[in-house]
Amino acid sequence: MAQEHPPLKMRSDLVQALMSIDREEVPGEEARELLGTLLQAALELEFATIPPYLSAALSLGNSNKEILFAILRAAKEEMLHMTIVANLMNAIGIAPDIIKAAPDYPYKLEMLESDLEVYLSSFSFDLIENLFMRIETPEDPVDFGITEQEPETIGQFYEQIIAIIQSEKIPDLFRDAETNKFKQVTFSIQFSKIKYKNNQDDYDYPLREGYDFIITNKEAAVGYLSWIVDQGEGSIDPGEDSPNYNPLTVEGVPSHFYRFKSILEGKYLIADDTAPNKFSYSGGDIPFSAEGIIEFANNVKAEQFDEYPDLQEAMMWFNEQYSEMVNQLNLAFNPSSREEKDQAYNTALNIMQGMRTLASDVFFEANSSGIKAGIPFQYIDGGVNS
């Protein structure tokens, strides 16, 4: 049985700042700036989870495809969460700082009350249970309950932002949204087919049609922020005949916490009318094989491998390309023109698509040297010109 973790709580000063906006204790323009600061903290939180998820996924071989697909889907969804937050910042006239959000691992999540550090590691059940599930723990993961209280958890923090936007506590919040629309990015994401409902399932459970993540008004902001909560926490109040907390996302697959727990259980969580809570781990198999796992040391840095120049060169090249991707994403969200946005986004996307090859080069050189070395994900000022 998986270890139970309490849900992570946002730092109390951030919570109080959010509540001061809700209580209209902060003047309009100051409230706008304060909301932008809080969204930057959310941006950094979303970014921090992506490299750990990718590191675990990249360490999995072909014998663990179902686990690979489950983790990789979560990483892609976190990229979309980051996109939504950055687009919302642009919609309210606050520039998102992607470079500032780039973490250095091990990375302490300073926006949380917890002393949790996220780290880079190869796949293990311990990593899933004690880091990934801890990051994604909802308000009540045992009986699917929802509590009414100050916005302490990550999901509640987003829900409070949603409430502020819905109630229009900040006047003319989206007054410049149409003007700044060219600064917003649309990501096109494709998911792998998974054996979700049973071992014969062959469906990719795509995003709902029409999702472009562009925010120009209150309704779009509320819709996409609610989608973020849904991805991590599950759906709220799905209907009279269901529990008041649905652990599945709108796409019909488990939210992140329950997806990671499915990996531990060896089967996906699915709707089950015969189970006490109407859900059970009785879906498609998620088998695990120790064969093919690429084990590597945690939080490695390129500078640690002076004695292995070929490996160090591969790691440094990974870092340079990763850094250039971050720089280009930052430019895509802060462009001077639509053309500059499109060019920067396409450059970043091309680098993303080549990262698996870059990681394989690192693994090859490490194996040739007979040592364990992981993916560094080190941001270097300047990057390279791709």
The token pair that represents 306 in the structure block: 């002076």
Residue 243: is its pLDDT beyond 60? no
According to the model, what pLDDT value does residue 234 have?
Answer: 55
Residue 306: is its pLDDT beyond 70? yes
Q: How confident is the model at residue 2 (pLDDT cuts 50, 70, 90)?
A: low
Higher local confidence (pLDDT), 35 or 147: 35
Task: Give me the mean pLDDT over the 75-80 stretch.
Answer: 96
First-to-final CA distance of the chain: 47
pLDDT (tens digit per residue) in 8-48: 999 999 999 999 999 999 998 999 999 999 999 999 999 99
Q: Is 252 left (phi over 0), alpha (psi -120 to 50) or beta?
A: left
Task: Give me the mean pLDDT over the 343-368 stretch.
Answer: 96
pLDDT (tens digit per residue) in 214-228: 999 999 999 999 999
Q: What are phi and psi of 43, to 5 degrees?
A: -60, -45
Q: How confident is the model at residue 141 (pLDDT cuts 50, 70, 90)?
A: low
Task: Give me the mean pLDDT over the 156-164 stretch.
Answer: 95
Residue 237: is its pLDDT beyond 50? no
The token pair that represents 10 in the structure block: 């946002």
Q: What is the 3-state secondary structure (H, E, C) of 263-289?
A: HHHCEEEEECCCCCCCEEEEEEECCCC
Task: Give me the mean pLDDT over the 192-214 stretch.
Answer: 95
Residue 386: is its pLDDT beyond 70? no
Task: Give me the mean pLDDT over the 346-374 stretch.
Answer: 95
Average of per-residue pLDDT values in the chain: 91
Of the candidate ranges 1-5, 78-82, 207-211, 369-373, the one whose mean pLDDT is the lowest = 1-5
In whole angstroms, what is the distance from residue 279 CA to residue 143 CA? 11
Residue 245: is its pLDDT beyond 70? no
- Would you tell me how many other CB atoms lie within 10 Å of the CB of residue 126? 10
Residue 277: is its pLDDT beyond 90? no
Using alpha carbons, select from 316, 295, 306 the residue that is nearest to residue 377: 316
The answer to whether residues 361 and 302 touch, using CB atoms and an 8 Å cutoff, is no
Residue 175: is its pLDDT beyond 60? yes
The answer to whether residues 162 and 168 touch, using CB atoms and an 8 Å cutoff, is no
**Residue 269, strand partner residues:** 281
Residue 72: is its pLDDT beyond 70? yes
Residue 147: is its pLDDT beyond 50? no
The answer to whether residues 162 and 35 touch, using CB atoms and an 8 Å cutoff, is no
